[in-house]
Amino acid sequence: MTWGTIATWRMAAEGINEASKLLKGKGTADDAVEKLVKTVEANPLYKSVGYGGLPNEEGVVQMDAAFMDGDTMAQGAVAAIENVLHAVSVARLLSHQHYNSFRVGAGATKFAQLSGCEMTNMLTAKAKTEWQEKLQKEKNEKMSSYNGHDTVGAITLDQQGSMAAATSTSGLFMKKDGRIGDSPLSGSGLYVDSEVGGAAATGLGEDIMKGCLSYEIVRKMAEGLSPQAACDQTVYPFVHKLKKRYGRVGEISLIALNKQGQWGIATNVEFTFCVATSNEEEKIFMANPGVDDTTVISTVRQ
Ligand code: GLY
């Protein structure tokens, strides 16, 4: 039976491996996508997700995450949550609630604590040093956010035909207290419908949310476009539109997977991503914007 998973950035390789094991063994799309994202969140080497994520300008790691079940359309999300090891698991817990399913700041952190989620100081010594150095460097300059682009976004399809999607990020380094990006926002950071497919985003949240790009890709797949065509025909026209009408555009990359296990991606910068399906071994790919609003994809590692 068909199964598949795709995730943003090469940092997701280990998570893709974990998710693949679950999906091969008839595990659920929900469990697989949570496991994938948790694997990235737990790795202190990744500076933009979970433990080891770089802090805001006040030296606090504030994370955004979301979870969506493509069968029921249930969604849960957290934003500016602090001191929790797995923000994605808090989002999944919230997806079981009809009311109060998207919580921010202290309310989100309190919910995680009361739900028995693992709490920890997310600011590693390495991230603290990097923050202090940045503060020092910019002492006499205007603080500027790093134009980061490293959210983990993932989509899974299980052998029962169910799909799920999830995201997790610590957002922009040196962001303002309480700044929230696209990652927890339904339709922007992620969207999935098991009868069609799913999409997830990474890049500059402030620009991604101007286009509701994940929803738009799923909508185009529902009209019959392949995941690659849906990504190309959503991302590149939007990038042109934003350049023309807003005057500038940040980094934007989208991944998609449909219910047949076919995948696609589009990006306006060099971008790595990971894939595994019942038809193809785990691989890390690199994508670049090509000519005529197409995407050039090459293999980085099998
Ligand atoms: N895409 C992640 C963020 O902007 O926070």
Mean pLDDT, the chain, whole residue set:
94
Distance 64 CA to ligand 1 centre (A): 8
> Could you tell me the two tokens for 212?
């509701």
Distance 171 CA to ligand 1 centre (A): 5
Instruction: Write the residue with the smallest CA distance to atom 4 of ligand 1.
Output: 205
pLDDT tens digits for 146-183? 555 589 999 999 999 999 999 999 998 989 999 999 99
CA-to-CA distance for 219 and 288, rounded, in angstroms?
Answer: 24
Pocket test of ligand 1: the residue of 63, 182, 206, 207 to mutate, having most ligand atoms within 8 Å of its CB, is 182
Mean pLDDT value of segment 55-81: 96
204 lines ligand 1 (CB under 6 A): yes
Annotated catalytic residue 267? no
- DSSP for 141-186, written as a single string: S----------EEEEEE-TTS-EEEEEEE--STTPPTT---STTSB
* Residue 83 contacts residue 121 (beta carbons within 8 Å): yes
Task: Provide the domain count of the chain.
Answer: 1
Beta partners for residue 103, in sequence order: 78
- DSSP for 12-70, written as a single string: GHHHHHHHHHHHHTT--HHHHHHHHHHHHHT-TT-TTSSTT----TTS---EEEEEEET
User: pLDDT class for 137, splitting at 50, 70, 90?
Assistant: confident
Domain CATH for 214: 3.60.20.30
Residue tagged active-site, from 151, 167, 234, 272: 151
171 lines ligand 1 (CB under 6 A): yes
Tell which residue, 145, 133, 5, 134, has the closest CA to residue 62: 145
User: pLDDT class for 110, splitting at 50, 70, 90?
Assistant: very high
169 lines ligand 1 (CB under 6 A): yes
3-state secondary structure of 211: coil
User: pLDDT class for 143, splitting at 50, 70, 90?
Assistant: very low
Say if residue 302's pLDDT is above 70.
no
Domain containing 182 equals 4-301
